[in-house]
Amino acid sequence: MIRLFKVKEKQRELAESANGKPPVKKQSAGELRLQKDISELNLPKTCTISFPNGKDELMTFEVTIRPDEGYYLSGTFVFSFQISPIYPHEAPKVKCRTKVYHPNIDLDGNVCLNILREDWKPVLNINTIIYGLYHLFTEPNHEDPLNHDAAAVLRDNPKMFESNARRAMAGGYVGQTFFPRCI
């Protein structure tokens, strides 16, 4: 019986190619949900989305955040999103491609945002994640850090943290770590 379905599918593909039409690629449930999420995006004015592989490849895209307040005012931070075919049942993989001095983003670009980990639920969407990332720049959280050194400075000396964040965004060293310019 299974073999019969494979034969019928092969016959349909041959018939379509004989008609001169390319075979139609079926979209996964994740792609359909992502299409819906993207069509309903309501981004803050400081955020943009781009598709480096073209609009046909929705499962990989970038979000650029330019905070208009807080420690990271005027910085430009790029995040890559990789969406699983089983989205929304699995959270997107998000990495910060801009090296940043931040308590919730480590030097490898890993992001500590609860909705990308233990608090992910299928009812959440891309818009929610982007607002969560934006919130990391307006209100960095020293209580749940990936970069423990930055978190300690933020907790113990906010003025020094602000100075370090500014130096890193302008392009320079903070401690032993060099940060490329992102302003």
Catalytic positions, written as ranges: 112
Q: CA dist 7 to 17, 88, 143, 173, Å?
A: 15, 33, 59, 63
Copy the structure tokens of residue 120. Answer: 């992910």
Contacting residues for 13 by C-beta, under 8 A, at least 6 apart: 23
Judge whether 105 and 111 are in contact, CB under 8 Å.
yes
Placement of tokens 């500014």 in the chain: 166
Judge whether 142 and 161 are in contact, CB under 8 Å.
no
In the chain, the N- to C-terminal Cα span, in Å, equals 62
